[in-house]
A = this chain, B = another copy of it.
């Protein structure tokens, strides 16, 4: 039934693997009846997913190592095993309301490439490594690309260990609880190249009728955790002019983010989101005395991003003055835009053409482990389209078996060219 143009890898086997892993941490969304996935980083469900993938790595004959931040590497020996390996990978942790594809396509796609090498009895010149990194999403401990940031030296291991979730559980405690504190040094020796196949998580490819996105890079990301301190007061009696309503201040910031985008002053690619808002005490009849909320800014242009950040800070100060509240903020994530290796982009485009797949360059709207790996070695990504405007971080997230096979088919060719080159 596979109508894919892809003949090099086994698209059916790949999709079954996605479905099987998608049952780990699965739940049924009440209102829609859709099957979603919740494998929040370092929870028992993540642990179960990790053990499932490790088992698959071992079944494929890979040598599995786990480093001290819980990144997992499955290595297939090369003809010259002293050479730096070609690495493929992504992540299997998820946001709490996820689909089956985000991250998993890159990890299970890497394993499909290795299964294909096994099927062919082909030993590449260089070793090949399939990897999955710890806590790419940042949904639990507030810092995304955690494992790959540690592996590539952007984040110190001790700082990563010390991060805590809302319940006060540290990364180290959570890693220990699921049994994934490995013994291998977390600092990665630079591979020959790093490749990652991923769903687009956006509407561009689907809208343009494209089958492959040749990813040129990743946009800049800036996250703030904002604390607004006003004064809790009785909702029934406190006159409006005496209020210091932290909730109103948060609402103004939220709406200002959208006005900033509408203004066009920060480029057409700007995104801005207030995803979390926690008012205290959070009761119907009390003016919120304090709100902790988040601001997520994205921009493909570093200069636009810096201007947007400056404007957000200016507005915090304006709102603090006008609403008689105190506003403090801390940076919980900040990455510059990243450009991927031109050589890898060229190889991705050539492989897509060879398979008869329509492709075009695209910038990534989301952050990915590949942007961390790009500091160590030539790195690049293959995007495949998702249905429903590429919706992601949602149980509706869906890429067809053909779309997934196309991405991994391209991944295989690029990997093979680099591993045998």
User: Which A positions have Cβ atoms within 8 angstroms of B?
Assistant: 31, 95-97, 137-139, 142, 144, 200-203, 219, 221, 223, 225, 229, 231-240, 242, 245, 247-248, 250-252, 254-255, 258, 261-262, 271, 273-289, 294, 296, 298, 332-333, 364-367, 389-394
Contacts and interface: CB of A to CB of B under 8 A. Distances in A.
Given A273-B287, A279-B275, A394-B289, A236 B221 contact: yes
A389 B284 CA distance: 21
Smallest CB-CB A-B distances: 8 pairs: A237-B365, A202-B237, A251-B251, A235-B273, A284-B294, A236-B366, A251-B254, A234-B392
Nearest to A239: B203
Chain B CB count within 10 A is highest, among A221, A231, A389, A394, for A394
Given A248-B254, A250-B251, A235 B283 contact: no
A275 B283 contact: yes
Nearest to A256: B251
Contacts of A239: 202-203, 271
A203 to B, nearest CB: 6
A274 B247 contact: yes
Given A232-B393, A238-B365, 5 more contacts: A201-B237, A233-B394, A240-B261, A248-B254, A248-B274
Given A254-B248, A283-B95, A294-B284, A233 B393 contact: yes
A100 to B, nearest CB: 15
A258 B280 CA distance: 19
A240 B258 contact: yes
A61 B242 CA distance: 45
Contact of A277 (B282, B286, B367): B282
A237 B277 contact: no
23 contacts: A97-B232, A97-B289, A139-B283, A142-B284, A200-B237, A202-B234, A202-B238, A219-B236, A233-B394, A234-B393, A235-B298, A235-B393, A236-B296, A236-B366, A237-B392, A238-B365, A240-B262, A247-B254, A248-B258, A273-B285, A275-B286, A276-B279, A285-B393
